[in-house]
Amino acid sequence: MMLLMLGLGHASAPVEVRERVAFSGQGLAMGLSKMVSRPAILEGAILSTCNRTELYAVVTSLAAGKEALRAFLLEERDMPAEVFEEFFFFLEGDAAIRHLFRVSGGLESQILGEGQILSQVKGAQAAAQLHRTMGSVLDSLFRFAVTAGKRVRAETEISRGAVSVSSAAIELAKETMGGFDDKVIMILGTGKMGELAAKQLPSYNLRKIYVVNRTMESAEHLAERIGGEAVPFHAMRDALERIDMLICSTGAPHYVLTPSEMKSVIASRKGRPLLVVDVSVPRNIDPALGNMPGVTVYDVDDLQLVASRNRSERQAVAEEAEAILDSEISGYRTWLKNYRMTPTISSFRSKAHALREQELNRFWDKNAHAFTPEQRQLIDAMTQAMTNKFLHQPLSSLKGMNALQQHHHASALRTLFDLEVEDFQEHYLRRNGDSFPTHTA
């Protein structure tokens, strides 16, 4: 049983590849189910954001697990093998553990210290729990990783300043336009990314902010909070003629604006510059729109200039964060090491308590009428306490050993006490069976 991660991110793949493999909504639910339906995959979780898609799995073996994850992704996303080989990468064991902790801490984000990724890691854990694809190993991994991410943000200044894709988009737009004074801006989409961008705009000397969403109620709610004007989705054409910048993040799985749809709008603008910033993955703005007169289109990959500057300024803080992550990673490794000892520990406990009950029953047989029921209860409780005291020291010592020492001492324990120890993988499947209906049929 091994931990494996298959993924790609902003550092390894451009947005046109990332958007092809993104999982969300019902697609995420179906993906999780299909992922763990493969016999080699015992547990599964999918972390999918604008900058990454990562599959975390507990697998029966590395070779079988890699092939299963590869086949799942190629089939689920109808992806050519050459695209997979060029952009995806595997991480095993400790490398996969450290990677998730770095992701949760914001150290693997395009914008170093990004705050939104922590809630996305929590969301990936919640989705896997909801769809019963996450067992003890991944649940504990994500739990430790979330704790690490919280500590990094609480104990360092990594979240100070522009630390989200939305804030970086605003910063890039401001630099491109030479400031926002007297500008008219449209927010298209009121999801998390759009909301984060919108919240920053009232601090600038803007002439107007339009908020557009397919659900008018959502547009009105956000517009009211930022002092903007809500515009119905079907009526945004007139507003598009008047704006200087469009920030788009609708969550739609397709383009919502294309050159053919914008042709009359661009003609009406008569060459007046329009900056479009698309922070969606999959992209909501057809990049060909950037070929039209006066139009500049940026997507999430164009935020690299802001990201590089951000990373350079925060290098010292990142080193502090790494030290916190080391501590939490050590905690998870200790948990995992001891978890693997569960069959031996359970067998030792069972043997000790079985001997206690055997000897106590023999004692009752010889002294059937010598004690009252209350006295029998006291003696039973006392022998249980004595047995637990006897077990405490050796088991505490066993848990405190490194993996090699544990292996040797657990082997000696099995021999000395003639323990019948369940195979770990069988024990694991039995304990986690309710999480994996696919594997227990």
For residues 266 and 292, the answer to whether their CB atoms sit within 8 Å is: yes
Largest CA distance in the chain: 106
Residues 6+ apart with CB under 8 A from 231: 186, 210, 211, 212, 219, 239
Q: Are 389 and 349 in contact (CB under 8 A)?
A: no
Peptide bond into 293 cis (omega under 30): no
Say whether 45 sits in a helix, a strand or coil.
strand
Beta bridge partners of 54: 7, 47
Q: Give the helix, strand, coil percentages of the chain, each rounded to 5.
A: 60, 15, 25
Amino acid at site 426: E
CB atoms within 10 A of CB 303: 25
Secondary structure element (H or E) that encloses residue 27, with its range: helix 25-36
Active-site option among 5, 21, 36, 50:
50
Give CA–CA dist 130/122, Å, rounded.
Answer: 12
> C-alpha dihedral over 377, 383, 387, 390, to 10 degrees?
140
Q: Do the Cβ atoms of 424 and 343 come closer than 8 Å?
A: yes
CB neighbour list of residue 367: distance below 8 Å, 6 or more residues apart: none
Q: Which amino acid is residue 61, in one-letter code? A: S
Tell me whether residue 50 is one of the annotated catalytic residues.
yes
Q: Name the phi and psi angles at 185, rounded to 5.
A: -125, 145
Helix (H) or strand (E) holding 209, with range, is: strand 208-213
Active site residues: 50
